[in-house]
Each structure stands twice: as structure tokens, then as C-alpha cells.
Amino acid sequence: DRKFDASGDAGGGGGLLLASASQDKSTRIWRVAYAEAKGSPAAATVVAEEEDVPAFMRLAAPPRPPAALLAGGRLSVHLEALLVGHEDWVLSVAWQPRNLAPSAAAAAAAAAGCAPVGVRRRPALLTASMDRSLVLWTPSDSCAGGGAAAAGGGGTVWMATASMGEAAASCLGFYGAGFDRTGSRVLAHS
């Protein structure tokens, strides 16, 4: 995998979503969550134990499991979705910004105590590929919360909701793409 991007507050499923682009023509979305282990040693204790060991011994020792590196906490990572739809290497992934800027009318209503100020979008991922296409992926409406499908044992279903690209044969493909601050425009380079 070549490119990563993360999105916090992953739609109610807990943790964050991490997207990775790959040269196998696919994109993977991972869910990463951290949980405190009950009765675990404090971070200071783990650091103190490492300071007692000479540096050359720490380099020669096998790596500690993630729970030890995280001061006794437990880090879980699982595959949320495998996105397949490109015909060549996927070189870039970018999450759409989740917070929408409020309109002047919504801001005035919020000031009067009538409505919330910000509106949150559901997660959306933009992928750029050497096949001269950009694809916008979103979770299906029935699974947009992230937890509904997971409760039944399956993962969230992500669908390609928009596809953009260059039809000219002279274009090699897209090396990268991203959103503007508002998430309403896409910029890509080839």
C-alpha cells in the first residue's frame, strides 16, 4: 500500500477510519480503535522499564506487542471495506471534510437557539488512479451510520457514487487528488 489518509469520528462505529491506496487496483478502508485495558500499568511505568534496559538491548529485543507499546491499552484494527473499481494502480486517497460551514441563515437561526450551527456529512472517500479516473465512495444509505451493518456481523457497504476522469488518451492518469476546505470541490493532478 502506498498512500494513507485518516478520518476521525468514523460515523458512530468508534475509532477512526484509515484508507490505504494500493498498486493492486484496490483501496482498503480500515477501522482503528483504542481501548484502555483494565488494570494495565501506567505509561510512566512502561517508560521507566525501558529506561532501565541499555539501548543496544532494546534494539536487539523483539518488538513488543501493540498493547505494551500503548501503555497497556489495546489497539484493534480490522478491514472495514475493500473498494474495487479502478483498472490501474490507485495512487491517492483523500477523505472529504466532514463539517459543513453553516449558511448565513443557519448561523442566524443557531444564534437565536433554533438550530445547530454545523452540519456533518456522512463519510466520503476520493480515490485517484492511473486509469485516468477519480471515484467518490460513500457508505450505502442503509449503512451510513457504520454500526448498523457491523451489528449484524457484516461490514459497511461502500458504493461508488461519482466517477470523474480524463477521456483524452494523452493523460497518463492521476497521481493525486483532494478536496478544498469546504469539501465541495475536487482538485486532481496528472
Residue 117 C-alpha cell reads as 450551527
If one compares 49 and 116, the residue with the highest pLDDT of the two is 49
What CA–CA distance (Å, rounded) separates 152 from 154? 6
Residue 71 has pLDDT above 90, yes or no: no
Residue 1 has pLDDT above 50, yes or no: no
Which percentage of the chain shows pLDDT scores above 70?
A: 61
Residue 17 pairs with which residues in a beta bridge?
A: 7, 31
pLDDT of residue 5: 61
Are 134 and 164 in contact by the 8 Å Cβ rule? The answer is yes
The pTM for the full model equals 0.66
pLDDT of residue 101: 58
Residue 68 C-alpha cell reads as 505494551
Order the strands of the 133-139 sheet from edge to edge: 90-95, 125-129, 133-139, 158-165
Residue 177 has pLDDT above 90, yes or no: yes
Q: Strands, DSSP E only, in the chain?
A: 3-7, 16-21, 26-35, 74-84, 90-95, 99-100, 119-120, 125-129, 133-139, 158-165, 176-179, 186-189
pLDDT of residue 51: 67
Residue 118 has pLDDT above 60, yes or no: no
Identify the band that residue 164 occupies on the pLDDT scale cut at 50, 70 and 90: very high
pLDDT of residue 142: 62
Least confident segment among 50-64, 75-89, 124-138, 169-183: 50-64
If one compares 37 and 128, the residue with the highest pLDDT of the two is 128
pLDDT of residue 103: 56
pLDDT of residue 126: 96
Are 138 and 159 in contact by the 8 Å Cβ rule? The answer is yes
Residue 108 has pLDDT above 80, yes or no: no
What are the tens digits of pLDDT across the range 19-44?
Answer: 999 999 999 999 888 877 665 454 44
pLDDT of residue 151: 39
